[in-house]
Amino acid sequence: MDRRDFIATTSALGALPLAAHAQSRPKDVLVVANAFGPNSLDIHTLGANRPSYGVSWLVYDRLMSYGKKTLPDGRVTYDRDKLVPELAESWKIAPDGMSVTFKLRKNAKFHDGTPVTAKDVKWSYDRAIAAGGFPTFQMKAGSLEKPEQFVVVDDHTFRVDFIRADKLTMNNMAVVVPCIFNSELVKKNATAADPWGLAWTRNNTAGGGAYKVEAFRPGQEIIYTRYDDWKSGPMPALRRIVQRDVPNAGNRRALLLRGDIDMTYDLPPKDFAELAVDGSPVKVVGTAIENSIIYLGMNTTKPPFNNPKVRQAVAYVLPYDKMSENALYGRGIKMYGGKSPVTSIKWPQPTPYNTDLAKAKALMAEAGYAEGFETTLSFDLGGATIGEPMAILAQEALASIGIKAQLNKIPGATWRAALLKKDMPMIINRFGGWLDFPEYFFFWCYHGQNALFNTMSYQNAKLDREITNARFAESKPIYDASVKEMIQIAMDEVPRVPLFQPTQDVAMQKNVNGFMYWFHLQPDYRQLSKA
């Protein structure tokens, strides 16, 4: 690490009104450093990045949340099969199973003191399905699609009418997107051209969650303070959180080891591997990210990647073991070298591909590209500690079958927007499905009509039918058969090559307690405390 950079970074942290080291900071103050922070304070805004999800989780309530469970090794994770009250103190499914009625907490207030009512809930749900892009697709993934589904019964009673029997509907109301806004406050800052006030909420909040945003300086830091009148859960132990952007990973590691920060979420795998050893001065918690893969995707609308044999050739030439060793340092589950045909509904599961240069060359020749071709391979600079070594190794391997791939490095702040354009020929990316069901992942990533994150622009009518059949299957045999067929098609057609199932690694001071893994992979400071 460059000494000048280190001094600059520690000086910036030192400028905060906090004691220098973890042991001497107040027990109710947490300092965090990550590579980059939110680009928006509102998950509904176009191009909101992953850290923005964390803002919405803390600053806004949802009707429900998930319970938690403790794994045999002592790690704590959310429980996908247990919904618990948040803004709604209770709910009841109708006898016919086609609606649910929520009773809201009567003492819940937004940060400005305005009482929360069912009108705010309906307005927020209407907004989520009208915002477009990711929020709208997320709501649709749980069959939440039409304003008339959302009904104000009285000030503290809200009903959702189901348009179909969908086992994901209830779970989907406990993810990040259907958060509850102070509707009157947002409407005061809306315009005729922006009726949902999305421009204003990008840099301002209108929530009633456990934390308020005290300061937001994009590219520098976000500071949270506890909302002491929060009624939707146990009062958090932490009064204040300072979350700073420190792009250099070496700086973040040094700050952690010096005690200048309490926690960091996004060090390179090599650092986590080294910090996780016995006798380390800090602790590391690592959890396999369910329903998630790191993959190499190919745009099937762009020749030659519209040819499945070319895609299969790529899948056979990738240096999987080298990627695991040099990019992930073993902190990921291998998604290659599996069996075919598919016999399990587990997802993700290893594909039958492995490194086989002879097969790759033969497939290139069969596809009519024995001499190869030129293309680009894009990756997210925000995740360059993993993406760049993977891209370099892939580039070298692709050259061995004549594919000359120029690397295209895209800044993390614009990566999501670049993905949504769906015009990059090859990408290395990671995707995780919030709801831990195979058909949910496939709905997002493979469905030709509905998939916002179908970054390969893949179209297959049979696969679309199987995804729908699995989502609404009336029996387990039908469900299992559809899921197996979904996975088999994805492996045969290989528009994206699964590489690894990633882990979420978090390094923290030993006096930080209560860490809990969440599907959205963002820090939930509500759970944490300091000894």
pLDDT digits (tens, 9 = 90+) for 196-231: 999 999 999 999 999 999 999 999 999 999 999 999
CB 392 within 8 A of CB 442: no
pTM of the model: 0.85
Bond before 268 cis per omega within 30 degrees: no
Q: Which pLDDT score is estimated for 23?
A: 64
CB-CB contact of 282 with 256 (8 Å): yes
**Omega cis (within 30) before 234:** no
Q: What are phi and psi of 358, to 5 degrees?
A: -60, -45
Contact status, residue 251 vs residue 2, Cβ threshold 8 Å: no
Beta strands in 299-356 (DSSP E): 332-334
Contacts of 528 (CB under 8 A, 6+ apart): 30, 236, 237, 238, 512, 513, 514, 515
Q: What is the dotted CATH code of the domain comprising 292-503?
A: 3.10.105.10
Neighbour-count burial for 259-277, b at 16+ CB within 10 Å, e otherwise: bbbbbbbbbbbbbbbebbe
Q: What whole-number distance in Å separates Cα of residue 412 and Cα of residue 410?
A: 6
pLDDT for the residue 412: 83
Mean pLDDT for the stretch of residues 189-197? 97
If we measure between CA atoms, which residue out of 324, 310, 285, 338 comes closest to residue 508? 285
Task: Label residue 414 by pLDDT band (50, 70, 90).
Answer: confident
- Looking at every residue in the chain, the average pLDDT score rounds to 93
Token pair 């199932």 is found at 501
- Give 383's pLDDT tier (boundaries 50, 70, 90): confident
